Amino acid sequence: MNPNDCRPIIHFTPSYGWMNDPNGLVWHDGIYELYYQSNPNALYWGDLSWGHARSRDLLHWEDVGTVMLPDETGLMFSGSGILSRPGDAGEEDAVLCFPYTAAGRDPSAEGTAPGGYRPHFTIRLAKSTDGGNTLIKTGREILKPYAPDNRDPKIFYHEESRAYIIVLWLTQDIFGIYRSEDLGFFELASTVKLEGGFECPDLFRLPLYDESGTLLPERPWVFWAADGSYYLGEFDGFTFRETGHRKRSSIGPLPYAAQTFSGDPKGRVISISWLRTKTILDVYTGAMSLPWELSLQKTPAGPMLCRSLPSEVLHAEEALKLSGEEALLPEDGALSIHTALQKGLSLRFINTSGDECLLLREESGQLFASSQSTGEYIRAYGQEEISSALFVYDRGILEMTFADGLFYTVLDFPHLRSEKISRIICSSSDGTTRISVIR
């Protein structure tokens, strides 16, 4: 079988090898750059490098290849990207800059520490003067290590205090906030302890909407951790002060280590996660999620993070009309399904052989997904809470949001990667289901 026939259509996967955390997400000159941790030599974690993909529409990705390889400083762990201001980073013009983690070892501990070594991670800087095609390591550390394995610098520019900010995981549930005015050396401004937080931090402001969808003047800050935990608070360029308890933005183990794009031309906050999917045909392991635009929604429980598909994805939809209860589908394309999550809703996915290969069914306020002998219950929410559902199905990967984007989860059915869906049979009490193809 051709491996490309077993790839998702709109979820990025590497040409070969292992992938995990998205890194260096940055927009410039009409291009969205996506770098990612990669083992280009095998299907498992190891020999970590940075792979590279790019897109002009957040939907169709070109796999560019490997751009940073391990060296004497260690493996290439996670980092981020930003377009500098002219004159910063030691360059006359604006350049793409990438703080990253070099995951090295402490040579003084060889043979004495558990496993024969002790970590010694350093945060370093790479630059690109050719539009992101080539990343050149500057060879210098840009901040003083706080702990042996501190990692995952996420950078942004804070206009109010006129400084570049790096948020960094330090140790346990402690994160650091670092500052530099010119992308030179970053000084530690403060630390913050976030209960349950762990690695891959991000810090950004989001628009806030009320229950009717009206944009409010407040723009709260959100501190993000790898498992999708987020913390609302205030940030002045030096210190993050948490104003709410830890919340979860997703349900289930598949999405991890999300990162937001720097420099989106529309000012949006767009996030992509690593999906921990299984090895397919001994060709690749892992996938990236769809891009999701983030905002905050006021609820009785306080502001909650909300996801929606970016306009680029929605513009790529080709709406299909249901013929009675059935929609006939073209041979290729991912599917988006918007529906009211009513009692008794069922969606039956039929392959080109006429067999049912996936079933989504509402049962007592829960959504049940089953595929042949595989079944999994999605966490239950009361009918009063869930007024809508969005399913995006892409060759076995199923991303779902509920309650207008307030709840999010991902399921994966690897054995359906090669199945072609020809029909969907829908049973819904109010007939509002809309099915579209995303190309």
- Return the number of other C-beta atoms located less than 10 Å from residue 9's C-beta: 16
Residues 6+ apart with CB under 8 A from 28: 83, 96, 131, 132, 263
Cα separations in angstroms, 212 against 297, 299, 303, 338: 10, 11, 14, 19
What is residue 107's three-state secondary structure? Answer: helix
- Return the number of other C-beta atoms located less than 10 Å from residue 397's C-beta: 26
Catalytic residue among 5, 21, 173, 394: 21
Is 21 tagged catalytic? yes
Q: Using a CB cutoff of 8 Å and minimum separation of 24, what contacts does 373-377 make?
A: 374/413, 374/415, 376/411
What is residue 414's three-state secondary structure? Answer: helix
Structure tokens at 192: 């913050």
CA-nearest of 45, 47, 50 to 33 is 50
CA-nearest of 398, 436, 401 to 417 is 398
Residues annotated as catalytic are 21
